[in-house]
Structure 1
Amino acid sequence: MTDSNRWLWLAGLFFAGWLIYLLMPILSPFLVGILLAYLGDPLVDRLEERGLSRTWGVVAVFALFGLLLLLVLLFLLPMLGRQLVYLYQLAPLVLDWLQQEALPWVQVKLGLAQGFWHLDQLKAMFAGQLGKTTDIVSQLLSQATASGLALLAWLGNLLLVPVVSFYLLRDWDILVAKLRALLPRRREGLVVGLIGECHEVLGAFLRGQLLVMLALGVVYALGLMLIGLDLGLLIGLLAGLASIVPYMGFVVGIGAALIAALFQFGGDPYPLIGVAAVFTVGQLLEGMLLTPLLVGDRIGLHPVAVIFAVLAGGQLFGFTGVLLALPVAAVIMVLLRHVHDLYKLSELYGESSHGDSSGGSAEPSGPT
């Protein structure tokens, strides 16, 4: 490739990136639709192998997802709503305990000055808001009415996601074949190999890690509800979502569950032992069964890289960036792995800044 062609490619990539950045407000439903189509393609392929046409396979997958969503809306959301209201009402009691017991103990142990903690104003804010539920609802309704166009645009994007997903899922194999036909013939094998590795990593994360998170959320929620914890469903699901980062779900979940159990059961040790047992079983299942079976070692993202990718995606592209952060990071990891291999084989890596003992220049020592 000549220098002029390189600059032309760089300019094209820069222009494409700039255009995507400008179109981000309308690209969100399309990106989510692509993500859902990618997730559903293996299911449709299996239904095609069973004799269904591509279109009816897509309809069956959409019916399955719609049924699951309906079950969540009918059963899970009301329970979560009640627990969120209970948590909101519990907040002043938590502040009382912090102010009267926990923080004075910390103040004595650390030798802090009197009046170091100021929780009265925060407590008054929570207590005042508890009696203003109708005011909050009226404010939300007035804001929704004032920004009616924005609300309609948001609903339009939400309704656009399943439409985009349906058509992409129906024509997925055709689109992939057409894109492959556009690849340079001399580089087709290399590009297809890279895409295959990216597909393996993405499959391991999107289908494996998400299933692990879902399974852990169910295990934690059911276990905490069985021991009678009022906030068991909410804490269990949050712990499952936090499991996207290794060990974070365990730390967040067991900490929140122990605090909730202390407030609900007082000093009774048996609920606390039950909480510890639930999260111990969850960790054993994750380490010995779920992760090896569903994910394996194909992702290889460091926990710090996971946290950075999620925060960077949210900062740059909002909620859509959070959804796409880890898949994009996984693809970048695959590409960096190949760049690393090329660097190890290059003359730059094999060069030495010092001569050998005979005064001559050192030979390149790249790997064989």
Structure 2
Amino acid sequence: MALPAQKQMKYWGIAAVVIAVVLWALGDVLLPFVLGAAIAYLIDPIADRLEAMGLSRTAATAVITVFAMLLFVVILLVVVPTLIYQMLDLAKVLPEAFKNLRDFVQQQAPSLFDEGSRAQQTIVSIAQTLQSKAIGVLEGVVGSAVSLVNVLILFVIVPVVAVYLLLDWDRMVARIDELLPRDHAPTIRELAARIDKVLASFIRGMGTVCLILGTYYAVALMLVGLNFGLAVGFIAGLVTFIPYLGALIGGVLAIGLALFQFWGDWWSIGMVAGVFAIGQVIEGNFLTPKLVGNSVGLHPVWLLLALSVFGALFGFVGMLIAVPVAAALGVIARFLVEQYLDSRLYQGKAHNDAD
């Protein structure tokens, strides 16, 4: 005999509250395990392809692990030191560039900077706000995420968790399927397949787009001669998952630095702007349609809201689970809309006539 819907909602509600409390209380402890699970989820299709080529699951996991270790060592030795140096130098140069911009504007429109003017007060207020926010962010980062112990723990535990989960991924999925409530198993499988499709399109697809564009911006800007090309490319690629924002932030930053570095050399400044124009053409016409698709089902505004809410509630772990939770809620919302459109409540008399 099936449980009444009211009791089912009660049990599912209790389970959701328990999960939320555990995430809130043990967020820092769960971080390496959530990261490991995310990595295993992302790499699982590669392991499945290697199995289809004739390798066992253990051999496929071993091949992926060795390749990942080699790639990590290369990135750690070649890319990371240069990126860190450029980011630190960029943090030192930006205040000087901002001061030069202020001096230029002051020469062109001195009335804006008259003592006591509304424009001058607004600029001072904005500067003080940005300074206080930057100090708060730096204190939070130094106090939690970038402590040496946490970083070492992440580097040790995350790969181990990812390898073990990747090795047992198919068995875990099969076991979870066996434990589904029998009355609702077909519906849950359908929703899970939809959620997986959305996540695969967004995370794997957009992750690849971010990687390709970030690499392109970094290499192209360094070839043009921009001093902080690698850092700007990294920043632009990192936020490419939000349409147009990656190119906007990276373009404004790169062109501003180009004006600071190449002032008077308009050919070099135009080449920097052209790098981002070409990047937008490549992303809009080739990368996003081919790797992500035209309809992912995960709107950028909805994603930003999820990242903000879960980040505020559960910290960095919340930001990691925000994307799958947002995808799941979006799929469930569309499923409920489908049920409503097929219900008697929506169709009314036409539904009765069809019956």
CA gap 1:19/1:253 in 2 versus in 1, 3 angstroms: closer
Q: Which one-letter code corresponds to 1:43 in the other structure?
A: I
Deviation at 1:308, TM superposition (A): 1.6
Which is bigger in relative contact order (C-alpha 8 A, separation at least 6)?
2
Q: Is it true that 1:304 corresponds to 2:307 in the alignment?
A: no
The equivalent of 2:167 in structure 1 is 170
Deviation at 1:345, TM superposition (A): 2.5
Q: Which one-letter code corresponds to 2:58 in the other structure?
A: T
Cα deviation, 1:2-37, whole Å, max 9, x if unaligned, reads 244543443343334323432323211111111111
CA gap 1:106/1:300 in 2 versus in 1, 3 angstroms: farther
Matched ranges for 1:148-167 at <5 A: 151-152=148-149, 155-167=152-164
How far apart, CA to CA, are the structure 1 residues paired with 2:259 and 2:89? 16
Indicate which of 95, 100, 122 corresponds to 1:97: 100
How far apart, CA to CA, are the structure 2 residues paired with 1:156 and 1:165? 14
Q: Is it true that 1:53 corresponds to 2:56 in the alignment?
A: yes
Q: Which one-letter code corresponds to 1:63 in the other structure?
A: V
Indicate which of 23, 34, 56 corresponds to 2:37: 34
Cα deviation, 1:139-189, whole Å, max 9, x if unaligned, reads xxxx99xx9xx7545533441111111111101111111111112333322
| Cα pair 1:349 1:366 within 8 Å, conserved | no
How far apart, CA to CA, are the structure 1 residues paired with 2:25 and 2:100? 49
The equivalent of 2:76 in structure 1 is 73
Larger Rg: 1
The equivalent of 1:18 in structure 2 is 21
CA gap 1:111/1:40 in 2 versus in 1, 3 angstroms: same
Q: Which one-letter code corresponds to 2:309 in the other structure?
A: A
Q: Is it true that 1:340 corresponds to 2:337 in the alignment?
A: yes
Cα deviation, 1:181-210, whole Å, max 9, x if unaligned, reads 112333322221111111111111121000
CA gap 1:9/1:280 in 2 versus in 1, 3 angstroms: closer
How far apart, CA to CA, are the structure 2 residues paired with 1:179 and 1:199? 15
How far apart, CA to CA, are the structure 2 residues paired with 1:283 and 1:44? 32
Cα deviation, 1:80-104, whole Å, max 9, x if unaligned, reads 1221232233234224313322255
- Where 1:171 maps in the other structure, the secondary structure is helix
Q: How many residues align?
A: 333
- Where 2:55 maps in the other structure, the secondary structure is coil
TM-score (norm 2): 0.84
Deviation at 1:51, TM superposition (A): 2.1
CA gap 1:367/1:75 in 2 versus in 1, 3 angstroms: farther
Q: Is it true that 1:256 corresponds to 2:253 in the alignment?
A: yes
| Cα pair 2:343 2:351 within 8 Å, conserved | no
How far apart, CA to CA, are the structure 1 residues paired with 2:99 and 2:10? 64
CA gap 1:300/1:108 in 2 versus in 1, 3 angstroms: farther
CA gap 1:107/1:203 in 2 versus in 1, 3 angstroms: farther
How far apart, CA to CA, are the structure 2 residues paired with 1:160 and 1:105? 56
| Cα pair 1:205 1:327 within 8 Å, conserved | no
How far apart, CA to CA, are the structure 2 residues paired with 1:10 and 1:178? 23
* Deviation larger for 241-250 or 73-82: 73-82
Matched ranges for 1:133-212 at <5 A: 151-152=148-149, 155-212=152-209
How far apart, CA to CA, are the structure 2 residues paired with 1:113 and 1:165? 59
CA gap 1:337/1:153 in 2 versus in 1, 3 angstroms: same
How far apart, CA to CA, are the structure 1 residues paired with 2:16 and 2:74? 44
The equivalent of 1:354 in structure 2 is none
| Cα pair 2:210 2:240 within 8 Å, conserved | yes
Cα deviation, 1:287-321, whole Å, max 9, x if unaligned, reads 11101111103423223222222222321222222
For structure 2, the 5+ residue unaligned runs are 132-141
Deviation at 1:57, TM superposition (A): 1.1
| Cα pair 1:201 1:298 within 8 Å, conserved | no
The equivalent of 1:323 in structure 2 is 320
Deviation at 1:366, TM superposition (A): 9.4
- Where 1:39 maps in the other structure, the secondary structure is helix
